[in-house]
Structure 1
Amino acid sequence: MRIPRLLTAVVSAAILLPASATAATAASVASIGSYVALGDSYTSGPFIPVQRLDPLGCGRSTANYPSVLAAALHAGRFTDVSCAGADTTNMTRPQGVPFNGTNPPQLGALRIDTDLVTLGIGGNDYDVFGSLISTCPGLRASDPTGSPCEEHFDGSVTSAIGNIGPRVEAVLAAIHERSPRARVLVVGYPRIAPEKGYCPDVLPFADGDYAWLNSVEADLNRALEDAASNGDAEFVDTFGPSRGHDACARGGSAWINGRNQNIFEAAAYHPLKTGMAGVAAVVLKSLH
């Protein structure tokens, strides 16, 4: 597989691999004969050019982080079945998608000889991600400097996240059953909101809800990390490495799109092409 421009994006991403990591990764390239990517929209990359048609409703980009990673590893066989809107149930059940399409159960892509599996899932379970982006922006006007979204959900999001870990552990058990020799990486979610400051024109949450959004993401990633530990998998942290690349970042350094959906660039509140390159670099670094 040859994708020169995407490889250039990896090299120029904000996170550059040290020489030792590059050498270690190069040494392991020969062992990646078959790579399968599983996940939701933060894996598939809706609206990032060029979109695949198998099916179109999954928003699966040829520039998403699995595609960049597969090219960098020169994987002998690469299968990407990630799909926008997927949750853990869609690992074993078909998923209906827009335009009358269906994405088959994602675990069906696994084979006994699969060497590498990446899994990016969990944010859509219990509609955690969807609830935040559909509710929080509308509450800003009621209390611009407060935390109206945190008050609205009143702990329900935290409770939901507590139930996601066991679901991911069950998925990991099923992966190991189908592909017992595979190295399995659970890829976390990158940062949406900045650590400090606000950008309501881009991320229209109330000022106090920025810190809460960060805490929700941190909790979700912690749940995924625990699931990976309990499920004989490796966790890849993208939240920490994406510091300074949140939706508010300027000068083209943002990894995440803001509220304005662009059908020629990225879905609202979802990774940009630069974000996919950045995540790919983080995952590549972890493969040592």
Structure 2
Amino acid sequence: MPRAALTSTRTTARRTRRARKAMTWTSAAAGVLLAGALGTAAPAEASVPGGGDLAGGVYVALGDSYAAGAGIPAQSAGLCMRSDHDYGRLVAQSLAPGAYRDVTCAGAKVGALTTPQTDAGAIVVNGPQLDAVTPDTTLVTLTVAGDNLGTSDFGFGDVAAICSALSVTDPLGTPCRDFYKDTLGARLDSAGAELGSDLKLIHARAPRAAVLVVGYPAVLPDDPGQCLGKLPVTTGDLGFLRSVLGELNDTVAATARAGGATYVDTLTPTRGHDSCSATPWISGLFPTSPTLPLHPYPAGERAMADAVLNALGR
């Protein structure tokens, strides 16, 4: 994507006001999903019986709502919405490490790895995630950067919701691409640089740990035309959203490899099960069972866990 600054015009302002009004349903749905106790969420650490290569070691799961399985029952940790079906938990069940720490949190941007994560009222909902990484850590998985795209805690899903709202303003054009211009690419560049620095910190804190950076699944199909009539977004903006997803994964993959980590591709194993498919493992804007919009269902988290296990040779 081009890298020019977003131009503030009266037309864009009017579109933004329309988009915010049209997104009332998104805020309401998020309010229901996010209902829970506020406060600092302590790491969920559980001893896992068994042995294997990780016997006596510690597995730490870091990341955002895709890593947390946000919205999938059963939930814990208040606004972090950690699911007992998130991919980290599934990997831990298979590997049986000495201990498992899950500090993933819905809405986590890259900065949440090193600084406390707060809600809109500045209440801390999760401490710095890297605090869970210690010298005895032998495995780290991480999915993060997608939430750096959004204008709220919902990241890419928030972008898609705005695209949907803007579609009524220019049904035959690309109102969402025109609204965001190249700001998403600039945000990704910044997130990638920050992620690279955090990978160095992980290696310094846990020099024995295998570090796996897990990419994002196939939220949209390779052919965005398959979403016509299924996602309320213009044809041109469906292509725009798909290109954003591609650049997101490309940035994460390049940063992981440059930072001495293993990149885990979850897009390939989830192809054909995107939000517009006949058998979706990823939800659409209106989930048919509990999860966040454009986020994995339990089958999607299972596929992500399998990709991690395959990367580990399991």
2:132 is aligned with 1:109: yes
Equivalent residues in 2 for 1:248-287, closer than 5 Å: 248-250=276-278, 253-261=279-287, 265-287=290-312
Partner residue in 1 for 2:36: none
Alignment RMSD, CA only? 2.1
Equivalent residues in 2 for 1:194-205, closer than 5 Å: 194-196=221-223, 197-200=225-228, 202-205=230-233
Match of 1:155 among 172, 182, 188: 182
Amino acid at match of 2:65: S
**Identity over aligned pairs, percent:** 39
Equivalent residue pairs, number: 256
Amino acid at match of 2:297: L
Indicate the SS of the match to 1:241.
Answer: helix
Amino acid at match of 2:53: A
User: Aligned-pair distance for 1:133?
Assistant: 2.5
Amino acid at match of 1:216: V
- Check conservation: 2:54, 2:96, Cα contact below 8 A: no
Query: TM-score, normalized by length of structure 2?
Result: 0.76
Partner residue in 2 for 1:11: none
Amino acid at match of 2:293: A
User: Aligned-pair distance for 1:143?
Assistant: 3.5
Indicate the SS of the match to 1:117.
Answer: strand
- Check conservation: 1:48, 1:266, Cα contact below 8 A: yes
- Check conservation: 1:218, 1:239, Cα contact below 8 A: no
Query: Looking at both structures, which has the greater relative contact order when contacts are Cα pairs under 8 Å and sequence separation is at least 6?
Result: 1
User: Aligned-pair distance for 1:131?
Assistant: 4.9
Partner residue in 1 for 2:35: none
Partner residue in 2 for 1:34: 58
Partner residue in 2 for 1:83: 105
Structure 1, residues 101-122: CA drift from partner, whole Å, max 9, x if none? Answer: 6211100111101110001011
Partner residue in 1 for 2:117: 95
Equivalent residues in 2 for 1:70-219, closer than 5 Å: 70-97=92-119, 102-125=125-148, 127=150, 129=156, 131-196=158-223, 197-200=225-228, 202-219=230-247
Greater CA radius of gyration, 1 or 2?
2
Structure 2: stretches of 5+ with no match in the other structure: 1-50
Structure 1: stretches of 5+ with no match in the other structure: 1-27
User: Aligned-pair distance for 1:98?
Assistant: 8.0
Partner residue in 1 for 2:274: 246
- Check conservation: 2:62, 2:104, Cα contact below 8 A: yes
- Check conservation: 2:117, 2:126, Cα contact below 8 A: yes
2:77 is aligned with 1:50: no
Partner residue in 2 for 1:228: 256
